[in-house]
């Protein structure tokens, strides 16, 4: 439906519920069982929900809502009247009232319009001096929608800007959007991300030396690629459990299952595409921004060899590159709160140091 993609359908309270993703934000539409539009369920703003939870023959239903600045809240709504009230919320020991979310649009290298969420304090000054963290994924049809994180609160409390572009390769705008960022189209994803960085700089949110980037797994490939293609744009890189040697990735871990997304170096045409952006193969000959690499020694999805050899290549090139390996951990990181806290401390200490964040 236009730029909206259908996420799910259910019957709740005698009505047909359609869960839409519109410009990477959730919408809930109610229709009659014959398909006629009734109304939309009023959501608190730009954010994400999994849809209504309720019985097919009962008027009362519930939905959970979250956003970049709103921890999870549960609302109760009437299907018949549309009356909605807050039913439960998570209390947060922080004030997020002074935070705001913008959704902007910028052209990528080929002119394709890309949407991006930009989160900051409402008193932000556009003088190019704000520490900014740009994150992304751009692959496998995964949609990045507004989701709350205490890391965002921490970053904004220290005057930072948090930015999330909806890159091609994701699912925010349907399967065609995914196809436009996979296999031989993969460079589009990197161009979209570079375009986001340039937009933030050109519009006064930050400057290159204050701009950090972060990505994990396929997002680790993303930040690895853009930091080798346009190293002058970034002041710091957080690269987590990444794919970086795209010529040999399919020989390790779960790599063989991803050839439909990336292609395989065993195919001549795919080899040319993969080699053109493979981060590990484009390190020598230029300086790169400081990098903190996060890996897990028991990662059976993305082999930690990617992280190890890329850091070795950067260090051999004379760049600042640190390798943090989580012991007895898999692709999702440590399995306890203490490990997550320790890694978070290391990540933000690195960013605060390299981007010169007052604290």
Cα distance between residue 185 and residue 127, in whole Å? 35
**If you count them, how many residues does the chain have?**
359
| CA-to-CA separations, 156 to 14, 127, 302, in angstroms, rounded | 43, 16, 31
Separation between Cα atoms, residue 350 and residue 359, nearest integer Å: 13
131: its two tokens = 């520490």
Six-digit token pair at 339? 């490990």
Q: How far apart are CA 239 and CA 234, in angstroms?
A: 13
**Catalytic residue at 281?**
no
CA 287/CA 303 separation, integer angstroms = 26
Q: Where are the alpha helices (DSSP H) in the chain?
A: 150-157, 175-179, 186-202, 218-229, 259-262, 268-277, 305-316, 337-354
Active-site annotation holder among 217, 227, 264, 278:
217
Pairing state between β 211-216 and 132-135 = parallel
149 labelled catalytic: no
How far are the Cα atoms of 52, 162, 206, 307, 331 from residue 294, in angstroms, in the given order? 37, 20, 25, 8, 10
CA 36 to mean position of chain CA atoms: 35
Q: d(Cα 199, Cα 208) in Å, to the nearest integer?
A: 11
Can you tell me the distance from the alpha carbon of 339 to that of 151, in angstroms, rounded to the nearest whole number?
15
Which residues is 74 bridged to in the sheet? 64, 88
CB 280 within 8 A of CB 245: yes
β-strand partners of 16: 11, 31
DSSP assignment letter at 183? G
The residues carrying an active-site annotation are 217, 331
């Amino acid at each position: 439906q236009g730029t909206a993609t259908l996420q799910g359908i259910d019957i709740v309270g005698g009505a047909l519920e359609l869960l839409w993703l519109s410009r990477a934000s959730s919408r809930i539409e109610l229709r009659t069982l014959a398909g006629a539009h009734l109304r939309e369920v009023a959501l608190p703003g730009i954010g994400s929900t999994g849809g209504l939870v309720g019985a097919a023959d009962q008027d009362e239903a519930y939905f959970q809502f979250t956003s970049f600045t709103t921890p999870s809240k549960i609302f109760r709504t009437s299907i018949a009247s549309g009356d909605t009230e807050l039913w439960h919320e998570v209390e947060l020991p922080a004030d997020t009232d002074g935070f705001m979310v913008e959704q902007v649009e910028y052209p990528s290298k080929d002119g394709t319009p890309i949407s991006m969420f930009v989160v900051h304090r409402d008193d932000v000054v556009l003088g190019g001096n704000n520490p900014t963290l740009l994150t992304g994924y751009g692959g496998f049809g995964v949609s990045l929608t507004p989701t709350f994180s205490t890391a965002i609160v921490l970053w904004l409390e220290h005057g930072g800007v948090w930015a999330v572009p909806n890159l091609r390769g994701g699912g925010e705008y349907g399967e065609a959007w995914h196809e436009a960022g996979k296999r031989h189209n993969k460079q589009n994803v990197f161009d979209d991300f570079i375009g986001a960085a340039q937009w933030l700089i050109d519009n006064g949110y930050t400057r290159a030396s204050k701009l950090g980037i972060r990505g994990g797994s396929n997002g680790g490939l993303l930040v690895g690629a853009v930091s080798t293609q346009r190293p002058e744009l970034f002041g710091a890189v957080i690269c987590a459990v990444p794919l970086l040697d795209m010529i040999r990735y399919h020989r390790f871990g779960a790599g063989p299952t991803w050839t439909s997304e990336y292609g395989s170096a065993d195919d001549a045409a795919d080899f040319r595409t993969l080699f053109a952006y493979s981060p590990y193969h484009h390190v020598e000959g230029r300086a790169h921004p400081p990098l903190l690499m996060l890996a897990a020694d028991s990662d059976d999805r993305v082999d930690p060899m990617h992280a190890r050899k890329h850091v070795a290549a950067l260090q051999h090139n004379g760049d600042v590159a640190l390798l943090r390996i989580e012991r007895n951990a898999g692709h999702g990181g440590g399995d306890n709160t203490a490990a997550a806290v320790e890694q978070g401390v290391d990540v933000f200490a690195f960013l605060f140091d390299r981007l010169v964040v007052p604290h």
